[in-house]
Amino acid sequence: MTDSAFAFGLGVGTHNSKGEWLEVFFPRPILAPGAALVDAVNACDSATALDESVLRKLKTALAAAGETAQAELAGRLMDSGRPVVAVLLREDAPPANVPEGYLKLHLLSHRLVKPHGTNLQGLFGVLPNVAWTNEGAVDIDELAEHQLAARLRGELLEVSCVDKFPKMTNYVVPSGVRIAHTARVRLGAYLGEGTTIMHEGFVNFNAGTEGPGMIEGRISAGVFVGAGSDLGGGCSTIGTLSGGGNIVISVGRECLIGANGGTGIPLGDRCTVEAGLFITAGTKVTMLDAQGMPVETARARDLAGKSDLLFRRNSTTGAVECLTNRSAVELNEELHAHN
């Protein structure tokens, strides 16, 4: 028997006129498939579309391996007449082609891995820029011809967006979530049970929420928001794609980022950022004691990951201040002990 692999998926997708993949839909991806499944698909693992004879053999092999659901899916895909692919990721390596990239995005949106739980290095270079239309994915270079053909039929080809990433809900709708504006959640987002994304909320790929939570702001690529946290209207989080920073931004549990506020540092649990205040790593923060008196000034990066903090701006001086349910002196001593 062969050792187990990282992930597997049977998918159906779209080619351009050159036979190149534009996108792939994986309805039943598997994380850590067993050895029996790996042995069943070894003969046809490829980014090349599978023909009917190979799919028939795959269906038989999957059934013999006890993979009933995957065998049934292979049968349905065999009858579709659409390009079909079987992707077996033997290890969690960077995606090498479009089907591999789409399988990894599906793993995230199916909640099989959390953000940063799979290697997405080089994904942007792998995925093509696509026109997403009411007739599906269209190659940018072929869009004008599709538009003309639609007009000649007396129809209109609606182009909803031009992007490397489609909206998540055309591929995956996780259980127990509300999404007011589906175009604002990309495939590859992870939405935990109980998450609500309001109309102005946005969730990028490789980012998301543990759930439950109310999201009215922007969750940038790489950012994960803990359970019970709320992001107010218009607020932002600095993602791992912004400015080339290496610090992974996260928001802990039961946090609140006020409307039009934001954070460029990881927040611990039960932290609050006042509405309209954006904290960056270099922000000078005045630490206050239990009586509200200044104790010391620190950089916000020194407070990264600390819990029970309230960040606010002094309306008189304009200084950014930090209060905590512990004394500021105690917190400062802890910070200096780790310098």
Active site residues: 216
Asked if 157 contacts 174 with a C-beta cutoff of 8 angstroms, the reply is no
Q: Per this entry, what is the length of the chain? A: 339
DSSP letter for 227, please.
Answer: T
Asked if 306 contacts 300 with a C-beta cutoff of 8 angstroms, the reply is no
Amino acid present at 63: A
How far is Cα 21 from Cα 5, in angstroms, rounded to an integer? 24
Asked if 265 contacts 303 with a C-beta cutoff of 8 angstroms, the reply is yes
Q: Which two tokens stand for residue 174?
A: 């996780």
How far is Cα 200 from Cα 218, in angstroms, rounded to an integer? 8
CB atoms within 10 A of CB 67: 22
How far is Cα 207 from Cα 191, in angstroms, rounded to an integer? 9
| Residues ≥6 apart with Cβ < 8 Å to 251 | 223, 224, 225, 226, 229, 231, 237, 257, 263, 266, 267, 271
**H or E, element range at 177:** none
Asked if 231 contacts 263 with a C-beta cutoff of 8 angstroms, the reply is no
How far is Cα 251 from Cα 82, in angstroms, rounded to an integer? 42
- SS3 of residue 97 by DSSP: coil
DSSP letter for 330, please.
Answer: H
